[in-house]
């Protein structure tokens, strides 16, 4: 649940929206025309899920386009709120009192007295109330630009033109199955932009990956050409601060190019790319290795050398895995490494690895952490390991000249699985893996990937070829 940063009165509207200095109204009008909106009809955009990235994304749109109230409506859906304890409420009031602009806004909206009463009495305060008035729990010091919050899912989505999926991959299928019931009588399909990073492994009829966009497609019947994935490299809190960031919106060109133009801002550059599934899978894969990066950083007291050694090994494994998934993996190298780098530096998965290694979190607490949300790298470790350990995917190990499962060429992934899933190792196991004298040089793994035809098209649902000929040819 993050937001867009407020600026000075000279460059912001009263509701926090940017002035039309970069053609925002023209971009909005262009998208409205493409969607067939008549004069007077609102373009309705709703974010589903109010986690960090989901609400920063919605708030960014509100900040840019929200002042054009006669043309666009931007809302965000989240489940009914959970109770906020007294200490959290008191801290939020300190935030309110420390920001004069926020205080003025709450007084204007007659909201401040409600919070004073909650602070002084014993009343339970709910997160929904805080979010409606501009605060969120994931970034407790962060004021949001004013935004309409809806807790009724049917109300939020039934006539939406653009739906932004800000849910974790583990929740995407269930929520969109519910949404599909509200779309039974729709004549046209909405556009869906998925921000979710994570995968599931399916083993029948052949081992393959299921991504959030595929979950949405199967749950709702919305055609894949109307479903797009938007990924980094970026960090939600830095976008909130209007620091320079990049993103790619991946999917059919019909919507990818106009949406890239619509979303692009001076501090948030968006490119379009037609390779939806591979980029989406890579978005989940980098979270796997980010957890290990956090462990290494904590266990070595932020040793630059140790982190560099880990980076070399994990990126070589990721490059190997891309050669299993993509026929032209070289096209992914730049975005993959950039997104991995930023996630290892500052993402919530790296933070989670650090906290585990320091003993400040335990695996028994689960992968949904209060104040941080879902740690999607945990389920991704399980999914990638399960998928790549299938004997039906055996590949030829060039050094040993024998068939092995792909995971045997990924020792870091194997170690993370034994730490996070089977719990055979403690966090220190990641250092033992790095110091294993029998581990291949990362260069060797990259050379193996680049010099042998490891591509397995069925992993991403592509038509099957004669894979045995590929492996031994």
302: CATH: 1.10.1040.10
- If asked whether residues 219 and 292 sit together in one domain, one would say no
Highest-confidence segment of 93-97, 261-265, 370-374: 261-265
316 alpha carbon, distance to own chain's centre: 23
User: What's the CATH code of the domain at 147?
Assistant: 3.40.50.720
**Rg (the chain; Cα; Å):** 23
- If asked whether residues 249 and 286 sit together in one domain, one would say no
Above 80 in pLDDT, residue 296? Answer: yes
Higher-confidence residue of 448 and 292: namely 292
pLDDT tier at 350 (50, 70, 90 boundaries)?
very high
Are the C-beta atoms of 71 and 24 separated by less than 8 Å? no
In 3D, which of 234, 242, 230 has the Cα closest to residue 346?
234
Distance from C-alpha of 273 to C-alpha of 258, rounded to nearest angstrom: 12
- If asked whether residues 156 and 100 sit together in one domain, one would say yes
For residue 24, CA distances in Å to 31, 67, 408, 438 come to 11, 10, 51, 57
Above 70 in pLDDT, residue 335? Answer: no
Higher-confidence residue of 289 and 78: namely 289
* pLDDT, mean of residues 160-177: 95
The region of weakest confidence among 36-40, 330-334, 359-363, 464-468 is 464-468
Q: What is the pLDDT of residues 387-438, one digit of tens each?
A: 999 999 888 877 778 899 999 999 999 999 999 999 999 999 999 999 887 7
- If asked whether residues 262 and 364 sit together in one domain, one would say no
- If asked whether residues 268 and 299 sit together in one domain, one would say no
Higher-confidence residue of 9 and 274: namely 274
Strands 402-404 and 125-126: unpaired
- If asked whether residues 235 and 322 sit together in one domain, one would say no
- If asked whether residues 178 and 30 sit together in one domain, one would say yes
Are the C-beta atoms of 80 and 98 separated by less than 8 Å? no
Instruction: Name the domain count of the chain.
Output: 2
**Would you say residue 215 lies in a domain?**
yes
DSSP strands (E only) in 285-379: 368-369, 373-374
Q: Is 403 helix (H, G, I), strand (E, B) or coil?
A: strand
- If asked whether residues 234 and 292 sit together in one domain, one would say no
Above 60 in pLDDT, residue 27? Answer: yes
Residue 377 has what pLDDT? 92
Average pLDDT of every residue of the chain: 83
Q: What is the pLDDT of residues 11-20, one digit of tens each?
A: 333 333 344 4
**Domain extent at residue 425:** 282-472
Long-range contacts of 6-12 (CB under 8 A, 24+ apart): 6/101, 6/143, 6/145
**Would you say residue 10 lies in a domain?**
no
- If asked whether residues 257 and 331 sit together in one domain, one would say no
Q: What is the pLDDT of residues 215-273, one digit of tens each?
A: 999 999 999 999 999 998 888 878 877 889 889 999 999 999 999 999 999 999 999 98
- If asked whether residues 191 and 295 sit together in one domain, one would say no
Distance from C-alpha of 70 to C-alpha of 64, rounded to nearest angstrom: 14
pLDDT tier at 347 (50, 70, 90 boundaries)?
confident
Higher-confidence residue of 348 and 183: namely 183
Q: How many Cα atoms occupy the beta-carbon half-sphere of 337 within 13 Å?
A: 12
Above 90 in pLDDT, residue 195? Answer: yes
Residue 6 has what pLDDT? 33
Of 251, 274, 297, which residue is a domain's last?
A: 274
Structure tokens at 95: 């935030």
The region of weakest confidence among 59-68, 133-142, 170-179, 371-380 is 133-142
Above 80 in pLDDT, residue 87? Answer: no
In 3D, which of 70, 76, 71 has the Cα closest to residue 48?
76
Residue 138 has what pLDDT? 55
* pLDDT, mean of residues 101-126: 69
Contacts of 185 (CB under 8 A, 6+ apart): none
Above 90 in pLDDT, residue 212? Answer: yes
- If asked whether residues 95 and 180 sit together in one domain, one would say yes
Active site residues: 286
Q: Which helix (H) or strand (E) holds 462?
A: none
Residue 135 has what pLDDT? 61
pLDDT tier at 466 (50, 70, 90 boundaries)?
very low
* pLDDT, mean of residues 101-105: 74
Residues forming a β-bridge with 77: 48, 150
State what percent of residues in the chain have pLDDT above 90: 45
* pLDDT, mean of residues 67-76: 92
- If asked whether residues 247 and 316 sit together in one domain, one would say no
Residue 309 has what pLDDT? 93
Contacts of 118 (CB under 8 A, 6+ apart): 89, 125
Are the C-beta atoms of 281 and 303 separated by less than 8 Å? no
In 3D, which of 128, 355, 369, 338 has the Cα closest to residue 235?
338
Distance from C-alpha of 261 to C-alpha of 272, rounded to nearest angstrom: 9
**Would you say residue 153 lies in a domain?**
yes
**Would you say residue 6 lies in a domain?**
no
**Helices 276-299 and 333-346, interaxial angle, to 10°?**
40
Of 247, 274, 301, which residue is a domain's last?
A: 274
**Would you say residue 1 lies in a domain?**
no
Higher-confidence residue of 148 and 27: namely 27
Q: Is the dihedral of CA 94, 96, 101, 104 positive or negative?
A: negative
């Amino acid at each position: 649940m993050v937001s867009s940063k407020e600026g000075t009165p000279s460059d912001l509207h009263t509701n926090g929206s940017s002035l039309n200095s970069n053609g925002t109204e023209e971009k909005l009008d262009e998208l409205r025309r493409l969607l067939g909106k008549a004069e007077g009809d609102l373009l309705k955009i709703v974010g589903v899920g109010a986690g960090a990235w989901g609400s920063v994304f919605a708030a960014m749109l509100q900040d840019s386009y929200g002042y054009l109230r006669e043309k666009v409506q931007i809302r965000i859906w989240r489940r009914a709120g959970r109770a906020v304890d007294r200490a959290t409420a008191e801290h939020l009031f300190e935030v309110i009192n420390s920001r004069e602009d926020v205080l003025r806004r709450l007084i204007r909206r007659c909201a401040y007295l409600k919070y004073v009463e909650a602070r002084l009495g014993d009343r339970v305060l709910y997160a929904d109330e805080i979010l409606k008035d501009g605060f969120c729990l994931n970034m407790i010091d962060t004021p949001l630009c004013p935004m309409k919050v809806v807790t009724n899912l049917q109300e939020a989505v039934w006539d939406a033109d653009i739906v932004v999926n800000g849910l974790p991959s583990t929740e995407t299928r269930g929520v969109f199955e519910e949404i599909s019931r509200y779309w039974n009588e729709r004549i046209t399909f909405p556009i869906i932009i998925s921000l979710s990073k994570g995968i599931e492994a399916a083993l029948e009829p052949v081992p393959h990956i299921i991504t959030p966009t595929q979950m949405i497609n199967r749950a709702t019947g919305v055609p894949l050409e109307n479903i797009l994935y938007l990924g980094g490299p970026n960090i939600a809190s830095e976008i909130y601060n209007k620091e320079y960031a990049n993103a790619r919106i991946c999917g059919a060109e019909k919507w990818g190019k106009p949406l890239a133009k619509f979303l692009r801002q001076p501090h948030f550059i968006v490119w379009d790319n037609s390779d939806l599934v591979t980029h989406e899978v890579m978005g989940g894969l980098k979270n796997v290795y980010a957890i290990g990066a956090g462990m290494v950083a904590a266990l070595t007291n932020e040793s630059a050398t140790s982190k560099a050694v880990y980076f070399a090994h994990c990126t070589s494994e990721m490059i190997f895995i891309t050669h299993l998934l993509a026929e032209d993996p070289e096209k992914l190298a730049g975005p993959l490494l950039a997104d991995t780098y930023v996630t290892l530096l500052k993402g919530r998965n790296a933070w989670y690895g650090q906290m585990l290694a320091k003993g400040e979190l335990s695996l028994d607490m689960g992968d949904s952490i209060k104040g941080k949300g879902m740690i999607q790298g945990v389920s991704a470790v399980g999914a990638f390991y399960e998928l790549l350990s299938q004997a039906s995917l055996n590949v030829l190990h060039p050094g040993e000249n024998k068939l092995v499962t792909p995971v045997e060429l990924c020792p870091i992934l194997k170690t993370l699985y034994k730490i996070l899933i089977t719990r055979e190792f403690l966090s220190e196991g990641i250092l033992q893996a790095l110091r294993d004298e029998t581990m291949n040089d990362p260069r060797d793994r990259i050379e193996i990937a680049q010099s042998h035809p490891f591509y397995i098209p069925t992993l991403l649902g592509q038509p099957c070829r004669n894979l045995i000929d590929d492996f031994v040819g």
